[in-house]
Copies of this chain bind each other. A is one copy, B any other.
Amino acid sequence: MVTVLRIGHRIIRDKRITSHVVLVARAFGASRIIIAGEKDPSLISTVEKVIAEWGGFFELKMIPEDDWELFVKQWKKKDKFVIHLSMYGENLYDFEKSVSFKHLKNHSDELSKLLVIVGGKKVPGKVFQLADWNIAIGNQPHSEVSSLAVFLEHLMPDILQKMFEKAGKRIIPSVNGFKKFIKDDDES
């Protein structure tokens, strides 16, 4: 399963954006996120609450901001690889046509080797050098939240129908749009 690395987190400035990045990582099928930035207990409690309510396996780890580089270098030492998302690099639609992308898409067991990096407004230049692929989620400014979602959904195209195990409750999709829930107990 995919690991996401978010470089940069300031509690006051980034509280909500980072928490949306975390939620996107989980909802779009990553199993782990590393936050390199200010230690922020509220992110841990966000994740704990979401898992209790909506299920699934998901891990959040915080490391000091400067440790991102060591983390990435160690990751790459173990035959693993790194994709960095931003507005620079190869367009996602071109990358999708590559053998590498198709291989990843068709070998979900290899997704555990993948680290996806998203930054904030300013990413250290070294990230571009260390990444195996720099992928542009378009060449217009938008958001690390949307970049991560769009990339993961291209990689795992059924992800928005994924079932999360051991959910406290689950929404039943329904055309009329109203909120229908079942508890996992109801299914037995």
Contact = CB atoms under 8 A, between A and B. Distances in A.
A5 interface: no
- Name the prevailing secondary structure of the A interface residues: mixed
The winner among A139, A159, A174, A176 for most chain B CB atoms within 10 A is: A139
A88 B170 contact: no
A175 B160 CA distance: 29
A9 to B, nearest CB: 13
Interface in A136-170: 136-143, 145-146, 148-150, 153, 158-162, 164, 170
Contacts of A88: 171, 174, 177-179
Shortest beta-carbon contacts, A-B, top 10: A134-B177, A146-B149, A138-B160, A20-B143, A27-B140, A89-B177, A139-B171, A145-B145, A27-B142, A23-B142
19 contacts: A20-B142, A23-B141, A23-B142, A26-B142, A28-B138, A50-B141, A54-B140, A84-B177, A89-B176, A90-B173, A92-B160, A94-B173, A134-B177, A138-B159, A138-B162, A139-B170, A139-B171, A143-B149, A145-B145
